[in-house]
Amino acid sequence: MNLDGRAEALERALNTIVKRFGEGAIMRLGEATHLQVEVIPTGSLALDRALGV
């Protein structure tokens, strides 16, 4: 399988996964540097700082 064939197969596989599981199921390194997620403080300032809360 040449590089073009491998790239096409990879793209088809990624599209199938996204269709089945939705956007965000696959992330490529370097694409998303920061994600917005809900957090709950632990009550421990040191632990919250270590976790980046």
> What is the model's pLDDT at position 4?
83
pTM for the predicted model, two decimal places: 0.52
Q: Looking at residue 33, what is its pLDDT?
A: 67
pLDDT on residue 28: 81
Q: What whole-number distance in Å separates Cα of residue 9 and Cα of residue 15? A: 10
pLDDT at site 24: 81
Average pLDDT value over all residues in the chain = 87
**Who wins on pLDDT, 11 or 24?**
11
The tokens for 46 are: 């040191």
∠ CA 29-41-27, nearest 5°, is: 15
pLDDT at 29: 82
In the Cβ-directed half-sphere of 7, how many Cα atoms lie within 13 Å?
Answer: 3
In the prediction, which pLDDT does 1 show?
A: 65
State the Cα–Cα distance between residues 19 and 27, nearest whole angstrom: 14
